[in-house]
Structures are given as C-alpha cells and as structure tokens.
Structure 1
Amino acid sequence: MNAADYQSFADAWESRATIRTRPRRVLENDDKLIYPLSRQPLVLSETFLRECPGQRDFALVQTLYKFINDVVIFETEIVDKTARSIAKNRFPLAFPFACRYDAMTVVVDEDYHALVAMDFMQQTIAMTGITPIGLPCEIELSRAIPVAVALAPQHLRSAVELICVAIAENTVTGDVAAFAKDDTIKQSIKGLMADHLLDEGRHSGFWTRLVRIYWHTACEDDRRCIAHILPVFISHYLTNDIQKSFDLRLIESLPISDVARRALNSEVSGLAFPINRHHPLVANIVRFFRSSSLLDSPCVQDALGDYLA
C-alpha cells in the first residue's frame, strides 16, 4: 500500500464516532456482575471459594478499577503520544495529510475513552462505596515499547514505535470484542465496551494501514532488523508481572487468615499464560502481522516462528 492510496475515514468518524453519537453510560444497580468472572480467575480459585466467597464483588470491583486504570494509561500515554505526533507532523516518518487528520481523530477518540472510563470509575465508587486499592502507574506496554525501541538503530526507532502501537491497538480490539459479548455483566459495561469497540475497530484498521505504508517503503536490511526485535517486544508485552503484583495487593486487602492468604498468593503465582502460540492474545497479534503485510516477509516469518501455528 502506497501513501498515495490512503483513503481517510473522516466521514465515518463524523457519523459513527462515539464522542459524536453515544449517550453517557450510567451504571445500573442490579444483580449483574460488574466485571467478568473469567477475567479475574482469583475469585474462581479453590481457596477463594472456600475462604472468602463473600468478597467476590469487592475483588471484581477492584479488578474493574485496574482495567479502567489500564485503559486510561493505554489511551493517554501510549496511543495518544504516537497519534498526536503523527497528527502534528512531528513524527519522524512522514505521512500525507489524510493520515494526519485521521490520527487526530484517534487522539480525540482515545482521550474521550479515557474520560468515559474515569467517569465510570467515579460512578462505581459512588454506587458501591468501594475505593480503589493502589493501582499500577504503568501497563505492560509502558515497559515493552521502550525496550523494543531501544534495540533499534536510531533511524528505525520511530518505525518500531509505530509497529508496537499498531500491534497493541489490534490486540486490544479483539480483547474488547470478547468483553462486549459477555452476558453476565451489567448492560452499561457491555455498552461501554461496545462503544469502545466501535471506535477501536476503526483505529485498528488505521494503524494497520500506516504500518503497511511504512513496510512498503522499508529496505530489506531494515525489515530484517525490525523482525529480530518483534519477538522481544511480544515477550515483554505478554508478561503478567503487573497483573500479578496487583492480584497480590488485592489478596493483601482481603479480610482472611494468613494461611488462606498464603494459599491465594501461591495460586495467583500459577495463573500466568505461557508466552507462546497458545497465549490467548497471540492469535490477534498474528492476525495483525498478516493484515499489515509484515508476515509476507520471510524475515518476519522466521523471527515469529514460535508464535505461528
């Protein structure tokens, strides 16, 4: 895909963007879950169900707070940074005006998503009376992207940043889609996720097209260099160190015995998915590599061999 072939989605943004079309989502006071059980396996563990099943909703609320906190960091510190740089023509890789205009809509969308998430956190605190325990000040991408960028020679650092953000945006879209389909959770949260998904579907395509434009112009040496960096980024991106630290903090806040706490700590330590082709997010990542044309390059196929079925 050449830059000259890029078609803006400005009309679609004007008619469909959630900031243009969606009402405020108001949290319901009903019996539905506030967060999916499947996304917090701690509450399904044998020890939790035996020792403190009455703390389930507290644990789910705290996990929702972390999810919201992660969204705010991702949208405002990761995606916003790169999209804003492209929009203002300050990104080292040059893109035509249509790309830069669309990048600014991404900035608007992502900051709005962060605002909506913060609003939802305030509503949840007001309804439940549960205040957040200490929340992380970074997400996995906060560490993974700088590690990947630092491995690149100076002239490729912006390209690596672009590809990392594109991977993340495409991964998030699939994850939000699964969240939006969960019938066990409150309708307002499903609506929140559906709204987010509507925008993220547009965003994931935007980042994919920008990567295709860049990859079309990259020489073979640069492609090989980037290919070697991709597995390093993925291995850092898919770690669960931050989630594990949060879960241990959550366990520490539960009113349970020291014996039960030690048992829960042990169970949490074994919850991580292996970082290989069986990790639940890898399918989304591989799908991005295919759609962005990176996987057409033999060097990328070789570098990602462990993740390909």
Structure 2
Amino acid sequence: MGCSALSVCPRLSLMSAEAEAPVDGPAGPEQEPEYRSPFGNWFERASVRQAPRRMVVDDGTQQYFSPDLVPVAGHPLVKALDGAHYDELLVQHLYRYLDFTAKLEYLVVNPVLLRIAHGTDGMRLPAQMRFDALKMYCDEAYHGLFSVDLTRQVEERTGIVPRTPVQPFFLRRLKEITEELPAEERGLAELLFVIISETLISASLAEVPAVDGVVSAVRETIRDHALDEGRHHAYFAAFLKYLWGTLTPRQRHRAGLLVPRLMHAFLHPDMDALREELAGYGMPRDDVEQVLAEVFTPAVLSEHALATSRQTRHYFELLGACSSAEAVEELVRYGFV
C-alpha cells in the first residue's frame, strides 16, 4: 500500500469512519476552478488498455540507453573505460530510470491517487476528478509493472545485474523532508510532491523516445509512459487549483517554502549511487570525484533544473505560491532562480 513511503497510510484512511463516503462538490468559498477531464478517450488510448507488451529483442548494434542522455558518459575519463564497462554504464542508467519510475509510481503516486479516488483526502472535488484519479491509479500500476518487466528482460539478455539502491535518492529526500515537518503538514507535502513529480516527469520523458540507436523496447516503453503522463500532467495542473482553494493562508505560505525543496528532491541526481558505480568499474576515487565535479557543475545543475521545472513553477507562480521573500530565498537556494 506504500505505507512505508507516506506519513498517512491509505489503507487506514479507507478503513476509518470518516472515509465511508466521498465528499464531492465545489472547492470551497472561492470560485470553483473549471475542470475539463483529459481522460475522455482513456479506455481507448491508455497504455494499459491498448499497448502490447514491449519485448527486448536483438537490435544489431543498438544500445540500451543513449549516451547523449547519460551525463557522465561524455566525460573523457568515462569514455576511456573498456567497452564492456562503458556498455554496462548505459544499461545501469536504464536500470536507474526504470527503478525510479516503478518506485515513484507504486510507493508515492498511487497511495495519493487512492486517497483522491476514494475521497479520503479531505477535499471537495468534482466526481469526475475522483473517477479520473482511479484511471491514473491503473496507469501508474502498469507503469510500475512494465518498468520491472523491462528490467528483468534486459538483465536476462545482458547478464548485467542492476546496481540500483534499495531506496532511490528522491525517496530518501522525500522521507527526510516529511520527517522534519510537523505531523499535520506531512500530508500536504506528499500531495505537493505528487503534483510536482507528475508535472515534471512529462518534461523529462520528452527527451527520450525520439532518440535513435536505442533498443526499440526501451524507446517504445518510454513512449507509452510519455503518452500517459501527458494526461496526468493536465490532471494535476487542474488538481493544484482545487488544492490551493482548500488551504489557509498559513498553509499556502508553508507550501511555497516546500515547493523548491520538493522539486530539488525530484530532479537532483543521485551522486552517491553514481560515485559507487564508477568506482565499481575500477576507476580511481580521485578520477571519480573529478568526473562528478566536472559533469555536474552548479551551473549545469541549475540550468537543467530551470529548464525542466519551468512549467511546474509557472503553475505555482500563477497561484502566488512563491511570491513571499522567504519562498524566493528557497528558490534561489535550490537553483530555481
């Protein structure tokens, strides 16, 4: 149920007396935002409804991930690795992407969607919005499934064992952030993180499917994911307006301070995992530190964060979430200004 990832277990919420009947209706005292469902053709177009299982087959000389999309792959010290280790580097990047996707979907996003769909989130939402959350719940479960399926196929075909950490960086950071908050603010932080992740991920996915030279099963799986996430993006952009209408001025202020930290937790690379992986290829520790320092410069990290988060920041800016001096300081601190 994802209870280890969230401060409020959805199963307990569903079993509580307060959760017996969903509460739907207008967003509150403010004017109800307009909701136009992006899921009108879901039964015909969703990947879980119509996409075939993507199978890894021999594709000649094609790679499992494009070196152009693996930041360290272009560094001279990494390019100097022997061919087997360089190929493994690309496979391990694929594993990290798939592990990130699976654990984000079933540990973080789906427990929140369950609360929205069942009406245990404490908000007043249109019935259609709750029904759409249930469709997304199906989508995200399938994304977790095809990510694990593809990992298993690649491991079987290549013999390369995944080096992925038990807990991805974003999940460790989310846990750290929520544990620092008062108990009454943790649910809001988790809602905000899901909104942020679902509006950021579509920008990240847009880079991959068009890349040539990558194994077809990888390209097609990521394309399936991207098509679904476009609908999810539209949904959560609308959901944010409903959520904002339920918050008190103090909660809105606190949310504005949390948004930069949560975006950073989603976008920042897992430097520790990369460090251990490169060392595992026999690269001297000094060379490893040189690669990381020269590839992930503050300027590069900030440029990537700004470009990827542009639309997400715009949604929050329209609501005035980041207008306070303290919120601007947080944006600067985490490289979003």
TM over 0.5: yes
- The 2-side partners of 1:275 and 1:104 are apart by 40
The amino acid across from 1:264 in the alignment is D
Cα pair distance change 1:251/1:157, threshold 3 Å: closer
Which residue number in structure 1 is paired with residue 289 of structure 2? 266
The equivalent of 1:301 in structure 2 is 323
CA contact (8 A) 2:33 2:241 kept: no
Whether the 8 Å CA contact 2:66–2:213 is kept in 1: the answer is yes
Match of 1:118 among 138, 148, 169: 148
Q: CA RMSD in A?
A: 2.6
Q: How many angstroms does 1:277 deviate by?
A: 8.3
Contact 1:251 1:264 in 2 (8 A): no
Higher mean C-alpha displacement, 170-179 vs 119-128: 119-128
1:104 CA drift (Å): 1.1
1:249 matches 2:271: no
Q: Which residue of 2 aligns with 1:97?
A: 127
**Aligned partners of 2:105, 2:113: CA distance in 1, in Å?**
10
The within-5 A match list for 1:191-270 is 191-240=220-269, 243-254=270-281, 256=282, 260-270=283-293
Unaligned runs of 5+ in 1: none
8 Å contact from structure 1 (residues 48, 264) kept in 2: no
Q: Deviations over 1:53-96 (max 9, x none)?
A: 44211111122112111111111111111111211222233433
Partner secondary structure for residue 147 of structure 2: helix
Give secondary structure in 2 for the equivalent of 1:90. coil
- CA 1:19/1:28 → structure 2, altered by over 3 Å: closer, same or farther? same
The residue type equivalent to 1:251 in the other structure is: L
Distance change >3 Å, CA 296–CA 150, structure 1 → 2: farther
Distance 1:125 1:146 in 2: 29
User: Residue 72 of structure 2 contacts residue 292 of structure 2 at CA under 8 Å; is this kept in 1?
Assistant: no
- 2:111 is paired with a residue whose SS is helix
Q: How far is the alpha carbon of 1:36 from its aligned partner?
A: 1.5
Which residue is 2:217 aligned to? 188
Shift of 1:34: 0.6
Q: Quote the offset at 1:10 in angstroms.
A: 4.1
Q: How far is 1:19 from its partner?
A: 0.8
Kept after mapping to 1: 8 A contact 2:54/2:221: yes
The SS at the match of 1:278 is helix
Whole-angstrom CA distance in 1 between matches of 2:113 and 2:189 = 14
| Separation in 1, partners of 2:320, 2:74 | 43
State the match for 1:109 in structure 2.
139
- Alpha carbons of 1:281 and 1:184: their partners in 2 closer, same or farther (altered >3 Å)? farther
Aligned equivalents of 2:300 and 2:78: distance in 1? 29
In the alignment, which of 274, 280, 286 is matched to residue 304 of structure 2? 280
How many residues were matched structurally? 300
State the TM-score, normalizing by the size of structure 2.
Answer: 0.79
More helix by share: 1
Given the two structures, how large is their TM-score scaled by the length of structure 1? 0.86
Tell me if the contact between 1:248 and 1:268 (Cα under 8 Å) persists in the aligned partners.
no
Q: Which letter does structure 1 place at the counterpart of 2:49?
A: R
- The partner residue of 1:142 within 154, 163, 171 is 171
Which stretches in structure 2 are left out of the alignment for 5+ residues? 1-26
CA distance in 2, matches of 1:149, 1:276: 28
**Larger mean Cα displacement after TM superposition, 228-237 or 163-172:** 228-237
SS at match of 1:179: coil
Contact persistence 1:33–1:186 (CA under 8 A):
yes
TM superposition shift of 1:245? 2.1
Q: Is 1:152–1:226's contact at 8 Å kept on the other side of the alignment?
A: no
User: Deviation string for 1:130-170 (max 9, x for gaps)?
Assistant: 2223x212223313334444565555443332222111111
CA contact (8 A) 1:79 1:110 kept: yes
* Larger deviation, residues 7-16 vs 101-110: 7-16
Any idea what the Cα deviations from partners look like across 1:216-241, whole Å, max 9, x if unmatched? 3434333222212223333444433x
Report if aligned partners of 2:202, 2:226 keep a CA contact under 8 Å in 1: yes
Q: Identity of paired residues, percent? A: 22
The CA deviation string for residues 237-279 of structure 1, in whole angstroms up to 9 with x for no partner, is 4433xx222223322332x4xxx42343223431335389833
Distance (Å, rounded) in 2 between the aligned partners of 1:155 and 1:204: 27
Is residue 2:313 matched to residue 1:289? yes
Is residue 74 from structure 1 mapped to residue 98 from structure 2 by the alignment? no
